[in-house]
Structure 1
Amino acid sequence: MNQAKQAVNPYLPSYEYVPDGEPHVFNGRVYVYGSHDRFGGNDFCLNDYVCWSARADDLANWRYEGTSYRSVQDPLCAEGSTAMRLFAPDVQRGGDGRYYLFYALEFCGRISVAVSESPVGPFQFYDHVHYPDGTLLGAKEGDAFQYDPGIFVDDNGRVYLVSGFCPIPGINPKFAAMNLVTKGCQLIELADDMCTVREAPQIVLPQQADAEGTEFAEHPFFEAPSLRKANGRYYLIYSSTQNHELCYAVADKPQGVYHYGGTIVSNGDIGLDGRTVPCNYTGTNHGSIVEINGQWYVFYHRQTNRTPYSRQGCAEKITLLPDGSIPQVRVTSCGLNDGPLKSGYSYPAGIACCLQTANGAGPYRAKTTIGEEHPYITQDGPDGDIFAQQYVANLRDGSNAGYRSFLLHPGTNLTVTYRCTGDGTLEIAAKESGALALVFPVTASNTWQTAMGTLQLDGEQELWFTYRGTGALDLRGFKL
């Protein structure tokens, strides 16, 4: 008898790297539109767009729909030149029933639009967002820099584009050299053709320079805006200058006024229950919220492979309270699953939602690689290899990997697969820094080894794996 597949984080196959995910439900299927990182890449968004979808009633089984769009299709990519990177996109169904893909090529500061008869593509170049006189949005004197488009079609058919990129001044010399015009998060109403500006851009969320003394002071707008509607309210999801969290602001109409709501998710759980240090390696975050069969979720991404350039999509259940607020949720390994993960299954180590050294974790920063003392999630094959196996590498003395959560019963057997360059012990606990549930002795081996023990844990439990000893331990997976 075949076991029913469970949903885990990341929700796509472990060899796939689709961050910046914008989830949408069309005709009973969930589609995710994101950028496309390259495993082992040296920059963001090196691959062309692909599309994945799942039935709304089966979020454990995602279907690869193929390449949906290539950057060389855009006229802004000079003919014969090197392909430009496709940054974070969004898709909406227009009034004509077609599907419109909004995106920006690298740091060109313009918003492009492609169109398809199908939500999976392939998309064909359509136009650039422009003013009625033909001037491209972002090219007019005084226009703010255009970036990270989010597209929203209201119940009355009116179309709104949100856009913006407002890095902290001085954080990157590259941005200073570009002389970016930054104003905050912009909202632009478009005509029915999905590309002509109907109402001039207005600023709906403040950037850091304008946030002091406002309710956004601690969480000013950085990038990644996404506009959604729920229960008669408009939610503007965005990434703040904290650079690890997705925040939200709420208004009673698309144009605002927006009021700061809070953090929905941090990819290091910062801010959750007063936490000030990350439980995982942090970095850029981008995503949105979506209702699927009556349950709301937030889609976001995590970092892997010791750099910020191999990001993967994750998702968590969220709750929209009657007052419109969304409590922050923790990062988990079970994500879209209908409850905790079950015993009787094998789990790859790469579904770890927490990872840290004995001294904690930290941020992944552009153009840097974390030090050799840090554990990380990686894979044993090249980018695009569907047979590549993901695992946790380089657990050194006191480092741990955490998994949330599992439904266990006393007497559950745990089999762990690992290899190690030194000798020590692998400790299993049900809480971060909690009492030990199992301890396995570890000896050096350059091949994968297994160890088995019995857990006496009952109910919904986390599992934390901590290595203590010499050398470094790689964790391939475990079976419950």
Structure 2
Amino acid sequence: MPNPILPLWEYIPDGEPRVFGDRVYLYGSHDRTGSDSFCDYKLKVWSASVQDLNSWQCHGDSFHSRSDADHESDTAEWTDRELYAPDVVCKDGKYYLYAYIVGSRGCVGVSDRPEGPFKLLSKYKYDESDAGDEGIFNDAGVLVDDDGRVYIYYGFERSHMNEINAGNMFEIVKGSYKPDVIPAGNNDDDFFEASSPRKIDGRYYLIYSPKKGSRLFYAIADNPYGPFKRMGYIIDNGKDYPGGNNHGSLCCINGQWYIFYHRMTNGTIMSRRACAERIEISPDGTIEPVEMTSLGFEASLDPYKVTPAEIACVLKGGCFITEKNSFSRPVTNIKTGSVIGYRYFDFGDDFSGTTMELCLNVSGCGCSSTVHVLIDDYENGEEIGVCRVGMHDGEYKGRIKCVTGRHAVFFKVEHDYSGWFVDAFKERNLFDLNEFVFRK
């Protein structure tokens, strides 16, 4: 399944991936289509077999802070605010949902199944002196350690943690509060929010969003109370792409580690979609930064199958992905100088000619333009041909050089106008890109 990893119409940001049994579950916030604010009043759960990451199943709504046509509110007793950034852990055969509710005391839900639905167990119980973050527990992440002890990490602008009573899973252990588990500094990599703990090969990791919010950083400690040492960033959703906040975590699936994160769509920072990239964890525990790709769980993309434009991982020059309806998400606002990029296609090593054909399916905007096709790099890569796009909806074709092997592909767009009114076309939307395919 390429990035984004869920169907076109689904918005699941703040992803917390968890493997339970033979399935990987993705828990996260739920963004609303066309909304001008973050998140929703419900949570949803998706899962896939660890043997088939191309087939994700929606398990429906799992928890509610407001009633809707099919569900009663789980939190009506004290709040009806939006649900942000949940986490789920398994303890003694039950599954516990930790829900952050905007401006309200958070809560814990419980289910016999990892997909839920989750029934309210309790609000967090604590003495005021034992909880940081004004007792809200912003973006809480939970770790069940090997010895059965349970820890919760949370915070906004400062990192906090506590131990949870493993006997009831909602009571904060008195005297366990520890502030600044990631020591504060004055750098772009200082903690901001989005705590997500993991234990890997005996080391404690804390994934978090820093002040530079388009990145996900990680920190490591040799015990759950820290202090955690800031190690660097793993992924940046704003690198050559319309960025925004970021939130996600690590997950090992069939021996392969992934970083889950989200990207923005619809020209806002509100419509966020789940993505994943392969990573490697070195023997010393460090993680090298990875680039955004179009791959998701794929090893490579097939250029000879139709590629939806919306899996672009490079969008420069003002263009962005937008939702027209449940079936269509083109790249829009394509102007002269825009770059649309995809990593990576495997063109194979077998061909009988020197050229192949690129076919673009576009929605016209009354302009004429030229699409320059580059491989490997959008600035210094080899240009293998061009495809001219006209004013109307439809298919446009261009003959390009036949290439072999694995390559990133970039479309660099320029308008075809000169003369008196050339400046007027610099800010024109030239066309919308729906999909494309290469043909030998």
Letter in 1 for 2:283: P
Deviation at 1:205, TM superposition (A): 3.6
Corresponding residue SS for 1:350: helix
Q: Is the 8 A contact 2:386 2:400 kept in 1?
A: no
Structure 1 residues 240, 397: CA separation in 2 closer, same or farther (over 3 Å shift)? same
Q: Does 1:444 align with 2:404?
A: no
Corresponding residue SS for 2:10: coil
Corresponding residue for residue 362 of structure 2: 418
Residue 65 (structure 2) aligned to one of 53, 65, 71: 71
Corresponding residue for residue 119 of structure 2: 124
Residue 93 (structure 1) aligned to one of 84, 90, 107: 90
Corresponding residue for residue 102 of structure 2: 106
Structure 1 residues 144, 123: CA separation in 2 closer, same or farther (over 3 Å shift)? closer
Letter in 2 for 1:250: I
Residue 456 (structure 1) aligned to one of 402, 411, 418: 402
* CA shift digits 1:55-91 (9 cap, x unpaired): 1111111111111111136665458x8x421111000
Q: Is the 8 A contact 1:38 1:310 kept in 2?
A: yes
Q: Is the 8 A contact 1:77 1:84 kept in 2?
A: no
Corresponding residue SS for 2:176: strand
Corresponding residue for residue 238 of structure 1: 208
5+ residue gaps, structure 2, are: 67-71, 416-424
Q: Is the 8 A contact 1:204 1:255 kept in 2?
A: no
Q: Is the 8 A contact 1:107 1:147 kept in 2?
A: no
Q: Is the 8 A contact 1:249 1:262 kept in 2?
A: yes
| Residues 143-152 or 59-68, more deviating | 143-152
Residue 313 (structure 2) aligned to one of 342, 349, 353: 353
Letter in 2 for 1:223: E
5+ residue gaps, structure 1, are: 1-6, 167-183, 269-277, 358-373
Q: Does 1:155 align with 2:146?
A: yes
Q: Does 1:390 align with 2:329?
A: yes
Percent sequence identity is 37
Deviation at 1:451, TM superposition (A): 2.1
**Distance in 2 of aligned mates of 1:74 and 1:202:** 33
**Distance in 2 of aligned mates of 1:89 and 1:162:** 12
Deviation at 1:344, TM superposition (A): 2.8
Alignment of 1:144-293 (within 5 A): 145-166=136-157, 184-192=158-166, 193-198=168-173, 199-206=175-182, 210-212=184-186, 217-268=187-238, 278-293=239-254
Letter in 2 for 1:158: R
**Distance in 1 of aligned mates of 2:113 and 2:129:** 27
Corresponding residue SS for 1:157: coil
Corresponding residue for residue 273 of structure 2: 312
Corresponding residue SS for 1:239: strand
Deviation at 1:46, TM superposition (A): 2.4
Q: Is the 8 A contact 1:99 1:119 kept in 2?
A: yes
* CA shift digits 1:249-290 (9 cap, x unpaired): 00111111211111011112xxxxxxxxx3111100000001
Corresponding residue SS for 2:52: coil
* CA shift digits 1:133-157 (9 cap, x unpaired): 6x6975x9x9465200101101111
TM-score, structure 2 normalization: 0.89
**Distance in 2 of aligned mates of 1:222 and 1:86:** 19
Deviation at 1:452, TM superposition (A): 4.6
Letter in 1 for 2:162: I
Deviation at 1:389, TM superposition (A): 1.4
Letter in 1 for 2:172: V
Structure 1 residues 452, 54: CA separation in 2 closer, same or farther (over 3 Å shift)? farther
Letter in 2 for 1:420: G
Residue 477 (structure 1) aligned to one of 426, 435, 438: 435
Structure 1 residues 395, 143: CA separation in 2 closer, same or farther (over 3 Å shift)? closer
Deviation at 1:432, TM superposition (A): 1.1
Q: Is the 8 A contact 1:205 1:221 kept in 2?
A: no
Q: Is the 8 A contact 2:361 2:433 kept in 1?
A: yes
Structure 1 residues 412, 118: CA separation in 2 closer, same or farther (over 3 Å shift)? farther
Q: Is the 8 A contact 2:320 2:332 kept in 1?
A: yes
TM-score, structure 1 normalization: 0.82
**Distance in 2 of aligned mates of 1:86 and 1:17:** 14
